[in-house]
Amino acid sequence: KLKERVENLKKEVKGDDGSLKKMGQNIDKQLNEIGEYLEASEEIIKREAELKPKVSTSITSLTASITELETEIKTVKNQYKELERKSEDIKKKYAVGGVFAGLKKFGVEGIILFSDEEIGSEEFKAVHALTTSLFTYLTKHNQLCEKCGKE
């Protein structure tokens, strides 16, 4: 914009054969406009100088908050995974405990009924199969011991 004004002044000086007074007035007017522009620019520069540190501080603070939040999210995810793992372990322990409690109370038939209707998980079925085999072995062992008189 300033370059345009300078070019316009040059054209006026070259093309105008009018009085020097008129040219001087135009130059004064142009200089006043330039002065106003510089004052406005100075205000903008001052304002930017004041705002930039605040913006930088805000960005730094925001970045720190985001990092802290990401850390908390990772911690919660890890805690959730650990809780899931512990829950699975507890389910397995209770399934095994349930098999032995059911075996003691209801015998193999009760365990078969219980496992088919209630749990149905692969781990429970595996424990059930193992328990059934163990029970069958112990039953046969007891029958043999009774025949020969041993315990």
Q: What is the pLDDT of residues 88-142, one digit of tens each?
A: 776 666 665 655 555 555 555 555 444 444 555 666 666 666 666 776 777 776 6
What are the tokens at 91?
A: 């389910």
User: What is the model's pLDDT at position 151?
Assistant: 47
Its pTM stands at 0.35
Domain limits of the chain? 2-148
pLDDT tens track for 26-65: 777 888 788 788 787 778 878 877 777 776 777 788 788 8
Output the CA–CA distances (angstroms, integers) from residue 142 to 102, 131, 149, 151, in the order listed.
20, 16, 10, 7
